[in-house]
Structure 1
Amino acid sequence: MKIGLFVHSVSGNTYLLARMLETAFQNLGQEATLYRVSDPDGQTLVDEFNLDADLYREYLRLPEARAHDLMPCDHLVFASPTYFGNVSAEMKTLFDASAIFWTEAMLAGKTCSALSTAGTPEGGADQALKAIHTFAQHMGIISIPLPCNLVPGMDIPAYGLKHYTGADGSIRPGKAQAIQAKAMAKWIVKQSR
């Protein structure tokens, strides 16, 4: 299965979470590729908020996502930080750029899943995940929900993986998120057969 992971990240947390999922897919023998969603203000934000510049430079080495990169993928993963209870404007720009495929339903039948990061539980990560699936439904893309028992003892919403970074973004995805990403990859591959 060819999997495209389309990620927008400034602090690096969403990128790290998406990279965990990419690795989990690759370990299952799947062709998985990360794409960077363009952000013309990213470096300014990294500088202004004193974020991890080395990690941001690593993220910038990813190929830049274009709407046409969605086409060859069997499964699409959209990974966005949560901004005001929604996906980032940059992720929304990628969604809007794919409107060229809408009238002919060229993305219909593909599957998708979602990841989001938020500072706190009150930050609206579930809403951002739902926004991703709303976009998918309008394009005819089939959302793959996650079962509540995907990882026993861990709360995972049906909408996708989420990670709380702390108000200052300093809590990086760790072992628990790696376990969740591995389980999510297995589930998606199983559902896509």
Structure 2
Amino acid sequence: MSAPYVLVLYYSRHGATASMARFIAEGVEQGGMEARVRTVPSVSTDTRATAPAVPESGAVYCTEDDIKQCAGLILGSPTRFGNMAAPLKYFVDGTSSLWLSGTLAGKPAAVFTSTASLHGGQESTLLSMQIPLLHHGMLLVGLPYTESALTDTRGGGTPYGASHHAGADGKRPIDSHETQLCRALGKRVADIALQLQRGASRGQS
């Protein structure tokens, strides 16, 4: 049996969300848990199109076992008209077997996003990503205002999850406040996952 891990699952088109995922993974590991970083393939209107079995670069594709066995889940997506991108939504829509079995119920979960414009739907994207996690019975984790970067940020950052303002050309780097909040979110999920596991172990002893 593998060591407990937090799954950082994202879709990224131009790389900003992937960069956030790496900072979140660092936070997970600062919290004392393994971070398993995974992505999902793009979708196409051409039904004949298929993705390669292994991506050419970056994280490998998520499997059902990756999500089934995680101790916590952190979902990330760029904004698409105030909602998560279609590839991630397509993957989440395919998790009904996990919903039926209650596999994810009681596990901590969080969300993150990147958007081109400062008011381009960050918060509505994060909130919409939380809805299927609630249906799975997961315990939503946000960012409290005890994180000073949440007050000081001039880019991304919300109490609903980590966010990044990538700029109109998508080239604005993730700044220090956004980085701090990504790491804080990963660490919070790891901390809670560990506490839940320790509580479960005490209950079984």
| TM-score interval (norm. to shorter) | 0.7 to 0.9
Partner Cα separation in structure 1 for residue 30 and residue 188 of structure 2: 13
What amino acid is the match of 1:118? T
Equivalent residues in 2 for 1:101-180, closer than 5 Å: 101-152=98-149, 153-155=151-153, 156-180=157-181
CA displacement, residues 61-88 of structure 1 (integer Å, 9 cap, x when unaligned)? x210133321110110001000110000
Partner Cα separation in structure 1 for residue 31 and residue 127 of structure 2: 27
Partner Cα separation in structure 2 for residue 116 and residue 183 of structure 1: 15
Partner Cα separation in structure 1 for residue 103 and residue 30 of structure 2: 29
Partner Cα separation in structure 2 for residue 187 and residue 164 of structure 1: 22
Larger deviation, residues 165-174 vs 4-13 = 165-174
Gaps of 5+ in 2: 45-54, 196-205
1:57–1:176 Cα change, 3 Å: farther
CA displacement, residues 94-114 of structure 1 (integer Å, 9 cap, x when unaligned)? 110101222222221111011
Partner Cα separation in structure 1 for residue 135 and residue 105 of structure 2: 9
Partner Cα separation in structure 2 for residue 105 and residue 22 of structure 1: 25
Percent identity, please. 24
Aligned residues: 177
| 8 Å contact kept, 2:40–2:62 | yes
TM-score (normalizing by structure 1): 0.83
1:94–1:67 Cα change, 3 Å: farther
SS of corresponding position for 1:100: helix
CA displacement, residues 6-32 of structure 1 (integer Å, 9 cap, x when unaligned)? 010010000001111112222333110
What RMSD over aligned residues (CA atoms) do the two structures have, in Å? 1.9
SS of corresponding position for 2:184: helix
Partner Cα separation in structure 2 for residue 178 and residue 120 of structure 1: 18
Q: 1:46 maps to which residue?
A: none
Partner Cα separation in structure 2 for residue 189 and residue 107 of structure 1: 15
Q: 1:66 aligns with which of 63, 66, 87?
A: 63
